[in-house]
Amino acid sequence: MNLPELQSFMRQQKIDAWVLYDFRGSNFVLARLLAGKRWTTRRVYLVVPATGEPTALVHGIDAAQFDNLQLMGTAVRKKVYLSWPQIAQDLGSLLAGCSRVAMEYAPGCSLPVVSIADAGTVEMVRSLGLEVLSSANIIQHSIARWSADAVRLHTDASTKVANIKDEAFAMIRSSLAANKPVHEHEVQHFIMTRFAAQGLETAEEPIVGVNAHSGDPHFSPSKDKPTLIKKGDWVLIDLWARVPGEDNIFSDITWVGFAGRDVPAKHREVFNAVKAARDASLARAVDGWKRKELVQGWQLDDAAREKLIGAGFEKYIRHRTGHSLSQGPAVHGLGMNLDNLETHDSREMLPGLGFTIEPGLYLPEFGVRLEINVYADPHKGPVVTSCVQDDIVLLA
């Protein structure tokens, strides 16, 4: 992405300028845009106008940290301030002629991930006679979209992660057939060794949960408290990995299996409800794209949860339907989440974004989560980039 493309998007959004505020490394968006954190002790403002050159307003003490600064390949002008009254004066000058500016702000903290600018800073900018809007969609457009290389490497990772998932289930199946003990943490360790062998990296160890453990969305197996996987058990495996490097995208999937031939009716009923919810969310995304509708994250969440609630399982919902997949250090990315439960995510499904669809139901005795990855291809619309589970894996 380049600066003219970003500025064109800002003009489409009727945003006159983007004002990024940072204090002592508080704004991860600024660090990502400027290709790395800078050691700062005073307030920093990066003003990106919808037309014209960007300017960094920095204190004299920290000015050297911003020498030869570039934003998306374009040089950034540096303006130095000394006293606190000068900040408002300089910002007023830099924003002269603007009426609507975007900041890392969300009304009512509806999106905590972008509510970075403190209330006082927003008040100060408003005191200049400016309307402050959320930069949520600008953040997505500038740092969450996938490059062509990211798409290619994510596809490669997805193939490998899917194969390793199959190998993990096969390990359980063969162990049970041979009456050989196999524990949750051993399957987890097996997956980690296969990641390393395939040249993949992961942020954290995968989840392998049996029976009630699968009903805990963030369960982590432990060799200190080993749990045996036995015939008749229910098994959930959640694994994620990527080609090494923060510019690459994780493949993040969750599958479930049953260590037997005849799946209990309750397990199959819950599985079918979660599958219907996953497919309804995907269908909503695809249909919205075809109708050229600006689909928002909360709508994709609602589409899934309506299915779960309609099936009578509302009390077993524990989390939103999905999270962003984008560049950066973590598997949870910086773009739109599928969420109208924990937050009201009004960010739009923009071309070039990726996300998971992973509805889940968590009963006391077992849980089901079915996770797929989706990429909003600028030409094709939402396409599934991961493997998709349509039936329960049988492990005996």
CA distance 291 to 32: 33
Contacts of 164 (CB under 8 A, 6+ apart): 191, 194, 195, 198, 239, 241
Give the chain's largest Cα–Cα span.
Answer: 76
Rounded to an integer, what distance in angstroms lies between the CA atom of residue 243 and that of residue 286? Answer: 28
Neighbouring C-beta atoms of residue 366, cutoff 10 Å: 24
Query: By C-alpha distance, which of 215, 219, 386, 252 is closest to 332?
Result: 252
What single-letter DSSP state applies at residue 80?
A: E
Q: Cα separation of 266 and 270, whole Å?
A: 6
> So where are the chain's domains?
3-144, 148-394
Q: Tell me, what's the pLDDT at 36? A: 66
DSSP calls for 20-64? EEEESS--HHHHHHTTS----SSEEEEEEESSS--EEEEEGGGGG
**What are the start-end ranges of the E strands in 259-351?**
324-325
The two tokens of residue 274 are 């979660």
Positive or negative: CA dihedral 215, 219, 220, 223: negative
Give the pLDDT score at 37. 63
Residue 97, token pair as written in the block: 């002629």
Query: For residues 170 and 324, what is the distance between their CA atoms, to the nearest angstrom?
Result: 30
Residue 394 has phi, psi (to 5 degrees) of -95, 130
Confidence at residue 203, expressed as pLDDT on a 0 to 100 scale: 84
The CATH class, in words, for 148-394 is: alpha beta
Residue positions counted in the chain: 396
For residue 31, what pLDDT is reported? 87
Distance of CA 3 to the CA centre of its chain: 24
Instruction: Using only the alpha carbons of the chain, give its radius of gyration.
Output: 24
Per-residue pLDDT 10s for the chain (396 aa) are 799 999 999 999 999 999 999 999 999 899 889 876 677 899 999 999 999 999 999 999 999 989 988 999 999 999 999 999 999 999 999 999 999 999 999 999 999 999 999 999 999 999 999 999 999 999 999 999 999 999 999 999 999 999 999 999 999 999 999 999 999 999 999 999 999 999 999 989 999 999 999 999 999 999 999 999 999 999 999 999 999 999 999 999 999 999 999 999 999 999 999 999 999 999 999 999 999 999 999 999 999 999 999 999 999 999 999 999 999 888 999 999 999 999 999 999 999 999 999 999 999 999 999 999 999 999 999 999 999 999 999 998
From the candidate CATH numbers 3.60.20.30, 3.40.350.10, 3.40.50.620, 3.40.50.2300, the one assigned to the domain spanning 3-144: 3.40.350.10
Structure tokens at 321: 């339907």
Cβ contacts of residue 140 below 8 Å, gap of 6+?
Answer: 334, 335, 336, 347, 348, 350, 353
pLDDT at 329: 86
Cβ count near 330 (within 10 Å) = 13
Following DSSP, what letter does each residue of 94-129 receive, concatenated?
HTTT--EEEES--GGGSSGGG--S-HHHHHHHHTTT
Nearest to 201 by CA among 237, 246, 238: 246
| pTM > 0.75: yes or no | yes
Distance, in Å, from the CA atom of 62 to the CA atom of 40, rounded to the nearest integer, reads 6
Conformational region of residue 199, where left means phi above 0, alpha means psi within -120 to 50, and beta covers everything else:
left
Q: What pLDDT, on the 0 to 100 scale, is given for residue 323?
A: 98
- The burial class, CB within 10 Å (0-12 / 13-18 / 19+), for 245 is exposed
